[in-house]
Amino acid sequence: MPDPCLVRLVVQCRDRPGIVAAVARLLADSGANITSSAQHSTDPEGGWFFLRLEFDLPGGAVDELRAAFASGVAEPFDMQWRLARSDERQRIALLASREEHCLLDLLWRRRRGELRAEIAVVIANHPDHRADVEAFGVPYEHVPVAAGGGGKAGAEERMLQVLAAARIDLVVLARYMQVLSADFLERVGAPVINIHHSFLPAFAGADPYARARDRGVKIIGATAHYATEVLDAGPIIEQDVARIDHHHTVTEMTAIGRDIERIVLGRAVAWHLDDRVLVHEGRTVVF
């Protein structure tokens, strides 16, 4: 008989009366005790409904509960949903380029227990971070992007092989500076979180700090979002900012930005791993 365990349920569907009651009744009938709940509706009349629950399941019969939920609640309400044990560890791949601050920060956070995941592999298009990464006991795959015609396609093919072999649940672009193709994003089979070094939608694309300097903004920022085929336009998970003023050079803004990027990406990854982020119509609900 399985052990008692803590379970998470996330749900989204078209809103209509009776959803909460149906969920609560099924959980009560299964002996679950809800310890945390958060709920959002864009509009009770014809809007979209989001729910995240954590509950103790004394008998630990997660598979039975999943089956009962699927037929008894999810299907009638036409839900997108996920039900998982809280102690599940997802498998992450980190992709990096020359800048290593986000990469190292995630490795540190993992080692400290801030991220409930296993970092299965690091892939980089530069060879420089091998020693740093392997010191954490994580394999390092150097996948260079050869100049010229097929370079990028070949690199993406190679990365897809590595990711498949590592059975990845999540890809994190830790300042990976190559634009990934729509084909790659479709075939990767896992969510992809990117950190962009501006306060989106301002300064999407290249060189955001230089452009922030040119525009004379007084605050810079960073944005963690799910990658989609439109560059820097995917659903935003988290953003944060820092003040600058006229005396900051682009180099200094870049240094200040590194601290924001590390923190914003760390939060976004942790929340994703805790099933706190639900995506609908290009936006996120973060519970």
**Which positions lie near its own copies, rule CB under 8 A?**
17-18, 20-21, 24-25, 27-28, 33-41, 44, 50, 56, 101, 104, 108, 112, 114, 131-132, 135, 199-203, 214-219, 221, 235-241, 245-247, 255, 258-259, 263, 266, 282-286
- The pair of structure tokens assigned to 161 is 């092989």
Q: How far is the CB of 75 from its own copies (least distance, A)?
A: 19
3-state secondary structure of 84: strand
Q: Are 232 and 200 in contact (CB under 8 A)?
A: yes
Q: How far is the CB of 12 from its own copies (least distance, A)?
A: 12
Sort residue 162 into left (φ over 0), alpha (ψ -120 to 50) or beta. alpha
**Residue 78 or 246 having the CB closest to its own copies:** 246
Q: How far is the CB of 105 from its own copies (least distance, A)?
A: 9
Q: Cα dist. 213→95, 200, 210, 243, 245 in Å? A: 28, 15, 5, 12, 9
Q: Write down the catalytic residue from 15, 105, 232, 275.
A: 232
d(CA 284, CA 287): 10
**Residue 162 or 256 having the CB closest to its own copies:** 256
Q: Which residues of 85-111 are buried (b: 16+ CB within 10 A; e: fewer)?
A: eeeeebbbbbbbbebbbbbbbbbebbe
Q: How far is the CB of 17 from its own copies (least distance, A)?
A: 4
d(CA 215, CA 226): 27
Element (H, E) at 269: helix 250-273
**Residue 41 or 161 having the CB closest to its own copies:** 41
Q: Is 232 a catalytic residue?
A: yes
Q: What is the CA radius of gyration of the chain?
A: 21
Active site residues: 232
